[in-house]
Every structure is written in structure tokens, then in C-alpha cells.
Amino acid sequence: MILVVSYDEDHTVEVVRRLDAAGHEVVRVDLAHFPAHAGVTLRYGNRGQPHRKLTTVAGTTGLDGCRVAWWRRARPFTVEHTLSAARDREFAASETAQALHGMFHSLTCAWVNPPACDGAAHHKPYQWDVARRLGLALPHTLVTNEPEQALGFIRETGLGRTVFKAFLARADAWRETRLVRPEDLAQLETVRYAPVIFQEFVPGVDLRVTVVGDRVFAAEIDASATSYPVDMRMVLDEAAVRRGTLPPSLTDTLLRFMRRLGLVYGAIDLRRRPDGEYVFLEVNPAGQWLFVEERTGLPITAEVAGLLSRLDRLDHEPVAAPRHLAGSTR
């Protein structure tokens, strides 16, 4: 059985469709349904195996036969609307997290990605440090909520050569990467409200490198001649998107980077300078790939479904916690 912890977003739906067509038993769980609209029951005794059961709108499912689990963009919990006090809502969400995450960690299955590794790898300072130690080039970067530090970095790097951006691309508070303009300097005092990422602007061609197990799919996204070369996400309809190739040594380093983070899947963003140097920007453990697949024909959806399918057919030795298990093909 394949457990899918996600919601009905386009990437998940397409992969599940392929798994269903291949005859796999797939159980989909959206954490946003818990605890208000879904239930969890765990039973333990002095002898025998524990029993784990989830009840959702689709019915009741036991998880004892789970062989592989796909963790992708899990949504926040939803508590009962009758809980009006903030402390009661927070308590309900906290207790739900303790039960469900404890259950997930106890499953003796392969994870894509292990939830704990996925959560840690979302933190960009952690990514940058792992990348640095593996020898990947990084742009000059400052993270701060101190306005005077931000101003000093901008002066050192230069107006027109410094970008600022958010840590997470939240759907309810999305912000593109922007160049610091002269008029932005008057707003630097607002940095004190929350840390901001400031980086040198790296000119060149973007590369979206999608890693699925041991398979690496590279795509070049050239936004340099578009109306907004600072952030290719804003001008995908204008950018030139094509299949790319990476130096073998860089491919090996990126695979080591993924394993160091404990990730089985990830979408890595690089930028290749005009002089040919590759600069690491970030990895998104739940990054999108359909926009690359649609423009290049790279078979990423098939590989994600294939990886889950292969893992579902493997015999797994019992383990005490979620483990990393990569694909077997290059």
C-alpha cells in the first residue's frame, strides 16, 4: 500500500492517477481534515504489533500494510470551529500533531521524503551550509532583521546588484525576488519586523534540477531577455525553457547534497554565470515540476510514480523510524 500525505494539487493528482492505473492500493490523506473532519486511532498492547487506523471521508483505512509513503506539501490542521478560545485551538492542533506525527514516524516503510528531513531541509540557512560544505558556490548572502546590517550589505554589494526575498513562497503572502531600488532604502527600517534574505544578484541562466531518487532531470530557463530577469517564476511564459545538461562532477555533488539532507525528492535551483560557474540558490523539497515537464518533455511525473511503484514492490526490513531509500536507476 502507498500512503500519500498531500492534498488534491495537480502534481499529486497526476501521480496518484498513474499509480491507480498501475493497480497499486493508494490511500490519500490530507492533514487539513484533521482533527475536525477525520479521525486517528492507535492501539498498543504488551504483545503483538500496534494497530494504526485513519478515518476520512473516503472511509476507514488501516496503515499496517503501508510499504511506502509520499509526503508532499502537507497542509495545516483544521480544528473544530466550536473551539473559540485561541489556547483551545492551539492545544487541539498540538495534540493532533503529536498523535499523527508520532504515528508517521513509527511506520516501517520507505518515505519520499521522510517528514523530519523534509521539514529540516525547508530551512534555507541549513541548505546553504550543507551546500557550502560540499563545495557548491553560493551568492554573497545576508540574513538579518537589523536595518543597519541590511544597509551596510546593500552599500557593499551595490544598488542594482542586490536582491531581497522571502524564505518561503506562501500562497497567502507570496513575494517575488526583487532588486533593491533607491526608494526601497527608505523602507529598510521595516526589516526589524522579520528577517529578510539579501543576496548579490547573479546574472545568468537559471537551472531547475529535479532529483527523483538517483535520477537527475535538468532544465535551463533563460529569463535574461524577458521583462523580469530577476525572478524567472514571474516570466515563465516569456523565458526560453529547454532540456539542460550538467557536468558529471556537479551531478554527483548534487546527489551527495540530497543524501546529506536525507531527501529522496527535491527541486534544486542553480544559476549559471556567463563565465560558466554554477551557483547554488536553494532546494525545494516539494518543488513543482510540471511546468518543466510540459515545456521540455522530461518524464518527471513518470519517474516519481515509478519510484513509488518500485518501493511499493520492495521487501522492507522493519526500522525504528522513517528512512531514506532512493531509486535504483540513473
Q: Where are the domains of the chain?
A: 2-107, 140-198, 205-297
Give the mean model confidence (pLDDT) for residues 87-100: 97
Band (321; pLDDT cuts 50, 70, 90)? very low
Cα–Cα distances in angstroms (integers) from residue 121 to residues 23, 233, 268, 285, in the given order:
32, 21, 12, 7
Regarding beta strands 141-144 and 110-112, do their DSSP bridges make them parallel or antiparallel, or are they unpaired? unpaired
Judge whether residue 328 has pLDDT over 60. no
Quick check: 278 and 207 in contact, CB under 8 A?
yes
Q: What pTM value is reported for the model?
A: 0.91
d(CA 179, CA 305): 38
pLDDT recorded at residue 236: 86
Quick check: 4 and 74 in contact, CB under 8 A?
no
pLDDT recorded at residue 170: 65
CATH says 205-297 is which class? alpha beta
CB atoms within 10 A of CB 82: 7
The span from the first CA to the last CA of the chain, in angstroms, equals 25
Quick check: 42 and 103 in contact, CB under 8 A?
yes
pLDDT recorded at residue 317: 44
d(CA 315, CA 68): 11
Say if residue 125 is preceded by a cis peptide, omega within 30 of 0.
no
Supply the mean pLDDT for the chain.
Answer: 92
**pLDDT one-digit tens code per residue, 258-280:** 999 999 999 999 999 999 999 99
Judge whether residue 329 has pLDDT over 80. no
The H or E element spanning position 91 is: helix 86-106
